Structure 1
C-alpha cells in the first residue's frame, strides 16, 4: 500500500491569501503569526514559503522563518 505524505495538510491558497502572505513575509512576520492570521497550521505556511521561494516570489530574509520575531531569544 502506498504512503501519501502530508495528506492532512492544506495546500490550497487563493490569490488574495498569497498576496497577503507575501506582504507579511516582507514585513518580517514570523511563521507562527502568519499562520494565526490565516487560521492555519504553521506547516501549511511553510509549504507556501517553499513554493514562493522556488518561484522566486519571496526572498530569503534575516531571521529566516522567524523573521523579525524575538521569540526564543534570551
Structure 2
C-alpha cells in the first residue's frame, strides 16, 4: 500500500499570489496573516515557503514562519 502525503494541500499558485506572498514575507508578517490575506490554509503557505526558499527567492528571517510582526502592528 502506498501513502500520498499532503494530498489535501493546494500546490497551485497564481504569479500575483506568489509576488504578494514574497512581499508580505519580506515585511515580516506571520504565516497565518499571510494565509488569511491570500485566502489559503497556513499549510499551503508553508509549502510555498519551502519552494521559494529552495529556489532562493526568499531569505531566512527573524522569527522564521512566525515573522517579526503581526498585520497592523509596527
State whether TM-score is above 0.5. yes
**Structure 2: runs of 5+ lacking an equivalent:** none
Provide, for residues 11-58 of structure 1, a one-character-per-residue CA deviation record: whole Å limited to 9, x for no partner.
000111000000000000000000001111100000000000000000
Q: Secondary structure of the residue that 1:52 maps to in structure 2? A: helix
CA distance in 2, matches of 1:29, 1:51: 18
CA distance in 2, matches of 1:5, 1:62: 29
Residue matched to 1:63: 63
Query: After TM superposition, what 4+ stretches of structure 1 lie above 2 angstroms from structure 2?
Result: none
Equivalenced residues, count: 70
Aligned pair 1:16/2:16, yes or no? yes
Residue 69 of structure 1 and its aligned partner are, at CA, apart by 3.0
What is the CA RMSD across the aligned residues, in angstroms? 1.0
TM-score (ref. length: structure 2): 0.90
Residue matched to 1:50: 50
**Structure 1: runs of 5+ lacking an equivalent:** none
Residue matched to 1:32: 32
CA distance in 2, matches of 1:55, 1:14: 17
CA distance in 2, matches of 1:36, 1:18: 14
